[in-house]
């Protein structure tokens, strides 16, 4: 038996939740454990094959009501071979729409037995005011609680009994979500040329000269982790979305479990 914690987590919010859930599993199983951070492009190009006795805890953020596309690509390429799985999604306090349902479906299509699922909240990538500083202590305690009941469900091998929120066909991406995003701008006066943004970008969009490669997914990793605070969103569509979110999506939402 092998336990794998796998996550796509550009701003580390999903990572925190998957790690909290996975810690419960590890403490109960004390088995071989692997961490697969599929945020870097190179990690998403690898082959991931599981055995029937293995367990996967998978997590990804929600973009536009769907599972983040780089994570979805990995899910489609996994080889589950009957392994059991737990799936979580992390959304920015607006809604997770069809993302958790889609993640469950993709895992099942790749040969996993999905036993439990949950939706958690993290600080929105567009605004630090929406889901501010989440997942927080309360969220991590909830993740640990979910881990306990999810472990029991995985031990039983039974599929999820509760209907997961979502609809078919899945929510269509808006024109805004489908359009190529302008990468965050760099403030030349603040930039120290440390290269952190280049190495952090999960789609290798930022050139050595900080040019925009046209592949930005607006994950905000370069904005949130620039040590000099030199990166910022400037695209009108993102700024408009940020305004709507700050006006309508600041009431604290709670995690939801599907067992």
pLDDT, residue 183, reads 84
pLDDT, residue 116, reads 99
Q: Which residues contact 38 (CB under 8 A, 6 or more apart)?
A: 6, 7, 8, 44, 70, 71, 74
Write out the residue range of the structural domain in which residue 84 sits. Answer: 2-169+253-258
Do 184 and 165 share a structural domain? no
Grouping H, G, I as helix, E, B as strand and the rest as coil, residue 202 is: coil
Do 144 and 21 share a structural domain? yes
Do 51 and 125 share a structural domain? yes
Q: Which residues of the chain have pLDDT under 50?
A: none
Q: Are 104 and 116 in contact (CB under 8 A)?
A: no
pLDDT, residue 235, reads 87
pLDDT, residue 106, reads 99
Do 209 and 126 share a structural domain? no
Q: How far is the C-alpha of 120 from the C-alpha of 86, rounded, in Å? A: 13
Q: Is the pTM of this model over 0.85?
A: yes
């Amino acid at each position: 038996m092998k336990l794998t914690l796998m996550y796509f987590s550009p701003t580390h919010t999903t990572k925190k939740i998957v790690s909290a859930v996975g810690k419960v599993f590890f403490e109960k199983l004390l088995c071989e454990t692997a961490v697969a951070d599929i945020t870097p492009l190179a990690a998403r190009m690898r082959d991931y094959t599981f055995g029937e006795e293995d367990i996967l805890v998978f997590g990804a953020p929600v973009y536009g009501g769907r599972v983040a596309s780089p994570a979805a690509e990995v899910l489609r390429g996994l080889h589950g071979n009957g392994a059991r799985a737990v799936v979580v999604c992390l959304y920015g306090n607006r809604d997770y729409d069809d993302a958790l349902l889609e993640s469950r479906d993709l895992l099942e299509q790749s040969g996993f037995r999905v036993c439990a699922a949950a939706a958690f909240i993290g600080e929105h990538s567009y605004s630090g005011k929406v889901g501010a500083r989440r997942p927080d202590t309360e969220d991590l305690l909830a993740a640990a609680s979910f881990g306990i009941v999810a472990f029991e469900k995985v031990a039983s091998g039974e599929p999820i009994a509760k209907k997961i929120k979502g609809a078919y066909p899945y929510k269509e991406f808006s024109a805004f979500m489908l359009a190529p995003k302008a990468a965050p701008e760099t403030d030349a006066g603040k930039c120290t040329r440390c290269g952190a943004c280049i190495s952090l970008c999960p789609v290798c969009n930022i050139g050595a000269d900080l040019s925009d490669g046209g592949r930005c997914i607006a994950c905000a990793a370069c904005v949130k982790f620039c040590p000099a605070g030199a990166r910022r969103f400037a695209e009108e569509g993102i700024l408009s979305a940020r305004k709507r979110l700050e006006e309508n999506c600041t009431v604290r939402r709670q995690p939801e479990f599907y067992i």
